[in-house]
Amino acid sequence: MLTTGAFPVGSAAAAPAPPAPIDWTPCPSSSGYQCGSLQVPLDYRDPSRGSVRLSVIEHPVAKAKGVLVFNPGGPGESGVLILPILVSLLPAGVRDRFTVVSFDERGTGSSEPLLCGPSASAAASAVAGTEAAAHVFAGLERSCRAAYPTVFPSVDTTTSARDMDQLRKALGVGRIDFYGLSYGTVLGSVYRQLFRDHVRSMVLDGAVDANLSLSTDATLEAPAIATALEHELAGCPETPGCQLGADPIAAYGDLQQRLARAPLPAPGGGDTTPVTEGDLATATLLYLSVPTLTPGYFQALASAAAGDGGPLRSVALGLETDLDGKSLVGPLWAITCNDAAAHPNAGATAALARSLAERYPLGGAEAVSNNLIGCPGWTSDGAIAHLSPNRAPTPLVIGNTYDPNTPYASARRLASTVGGRLVTYVGYGHTWLLNGSANTCMQGVIESYLVDGVLPATGTRCRA
C-alpha cells in the first residue's frame, strides 16, 4: 500500500481539533517580527496521543493581501531564525503586501529538534564511497530513534505539510501563498497535493522533484557541481583572495588528492575530526551555492594547501549547521531518508559514488554525499506519495541554469510533475532568491505572480 507520512493514502484519519489562534509576542532579537508557538498533533491518525509544539514567526504588515508562508529548505533549517534575512530579499511589492510567516518543522530548530547522529564535523568530512563514511553514518536511524522515540517516527515532509495546514487554520485564513527554497519546494509540492483548495499561489525556487529517487538526484547533481566549480575556478585569477596560481583547476585537483592521501590534523578546540577531502567538497558546495555567504572560501583553500585545515573545516560546517550553530545532521537525514521510497544499501551507495567520481572528479562523490550518504540501512517508511498535476492554482517553478545544488534539470522535471510554469534564471548559485534577488526581471515576475496572480509567459527567461 502506498504510504504518505504517518498513514496510508486514503485511510481514515481522525480530524484534529481546530488549533488555537497563535499568541504573538515581539521576537526578542528581530525588530518588527512577532514570535509564537503552535500545538499540532503528534500523530494525525490518533490526535489523542499528544502534541508537538512548533515555533513560528511572522512579519506582519498593515492591510495585508494575504499570508505568505515561507520555508527556507535544508531540510532542517530553522525558518524562525532565517526569516528576517529572507524577507529582506523579497521584492518590495511582495514584502509590503503580505504578512510573511515561517515555522520550524517538527524535529528542527526550536520544534523538538533531533540533535542526534554523527557530529557536524564528522558529517562534513565524510566522503561517499569510503569505508570511513559508511562507519560515520552507520546506525544513524537507530541512534535518532533511541534518543527521540516519540517524535522521530513523524519527522517527514507529509506530516509537516499537515502541520502547515494546521498553521493555516491557526492564522485564520482560507488559502495561503507559499514560497519554498530548495527542500522547501518539496514541502510546497506535497502541501499542494494534499490541500489543493487551500493554495492561492506557490513559488518553488531551487526545485526538487520528490518523484525522483535519491540516486537520480545525485546523478543529476554531479555534472551541475562540476560545471559550476569549473566556472568558478576559471574565474579564480580575477577573484579577490584567490591564491590558486595560473591553473586553478589543477591546483584544486592537487589539493583534493593531497587531502585524500593524508588528511590534515583536526582543528582542535573540541573538534577531533581530521580535515579531509570531504571537507573540501562540502565547503565547495556551500561556496558554489551562496558565494556571498562564504567570503573566506579561497583563503581557506590556501590555508589548507599550506597545512592548516581549520579555516576549511569552518567553511564546511556552514553546510552542516544552522544559523545558531546547532547541527543539522539529525533533522536533515531524518527528513531526507524518511521521505524516500527506496534507500540504496551501503554497497550500492559506494558504487554510485565511485562511478560519479570517475565521470565527474570535481563533484561526483559530493553529489552522493549531499543526497543519500545518510540513508543506507534506513528502515522508516514515511515515503512521499507520487506527485502529479491537480486542479490547484498553477505553481511557479524557478530554475537557475547553473545551480550546483538543485540542478536545472530538476526544475524542468518538477514543472512537468506538478503542472507548473517554469521560469529560467540564467545565472549561477543555488536558488534565485539567494543569488539574484536584485534582478529586476525576476522581481517583476515574482511580484506579478504573487500580488496579481499573473503567470509569466511560457519560456520566460531572466538573465543575471
**Of 285, 300, 434, whose CA–CA distance to 368 is shortest?**
285
**Cell numbers that stand for 384 in this block:** 512521499
Exposed, middle or buried, 292 (CB in 10 Å: 0-12/13-18/19+)? exposed
The edge-to-edge listing of strands for the beta sheet with 25-26 is 25-26, 34-41, 51-59, 98-103, 66-71, 176-181, 199-205, 396-402, 421-428, 461-463
CA distances from 110 to 29, 146, 321, 329 (A): 15, 20, 14, 15
Let me know if 319 is exposed, middle or buried by CB neighbors in 10 A (0-12, 13-18, 19+).
buried
User: Which domains, from first to last, does the chain contain?
Assistant: 16-114+150-212+384-463 (3.40.50.1820), 120-146+214-372 (no CATH)
DSSP string, 166-204: HHHHHHT-S-EEEEEETTHHHHHHHHHHH-GGGEEEEEE
Kindly tell me the burial class for residue 233, based on how many C-beta atoms sit within 10 Å of its own C-beta (0-12, 13-18, 19 or more): buried
321: which DSSP letter? B
Count of other CB atoms within 10 angstroms of residue 21: 12
What is the pLDDT tens value at each position of the chain, 464 positions in all? Answer: 223 334 443 344 567 889 999 999 999 988 999 999 999 999 999 999 999 999 999 999 999 999 999 999 999 999 999 999 999 999 999 999 999 999 999 999 999 999 999 999 999 999 999 999 999 999 999 999 999 999 999 999 999 999 999 999 999 999 999 999 999 999 999 999 999 999 999 999 999 999 999 999 999 999 999 999 999 999 998 887 788 998 999 999 999 999 999 999 999 999 999 999 999 999 999 999 999 999 999 999 999 999 999 999 999 999 999 999 999 999 999 999 999 999 999 999 999 999 999 999 999 999 999 999 999 989 987 899 999 999 999 999 999 999 999 999 999 999 999 999 999 999 999 999 999 999 999 999 999 999 999 999 999 999 99
Which DSSP category does 237 fall into? G
The set of residues, in sequence order, having a beta carbon less than 8 Å from that of 129 and lying 6+ positions away, is 349, 350, 351, 352, 353, 354, 357, 365, 368
The C-alpha atoms of residue 50 and residue 43 are separated, in whole angstroms, by 8
Q: What is the pLDDT of residue 382?
A: 86
What is the structure's pLDDT at 13? Answer: 57
CA 354 to chain CA mean position, Å = 25
As a whole number of angstroms, the distance between CA 281 and CA 288 comes to 10
pLDDT score recorded for residue 52 = 98
- Which of 177, 186, 181, 183 minimizes the C-alpha distance to 158? 186
Tell me the pTM: 0.96
Largest CA distance in the chain: 66
Alpha-carbon distance of 270 to 133, in angstroms, equals 21
C-alpha cell of 169? Answer: 487554520
Angle of helix 248-261 relative to helix 214-234, nearest 10 degrees, comes to: 130
Cβ burial, residue 450 (10 Å; 0-12/13-18/19+): buried
Tell me: cis bond preceding 240? Omega within 30 of 0 counts: no
| CA 385 – CA 345 distance, rounded (Å) | 22
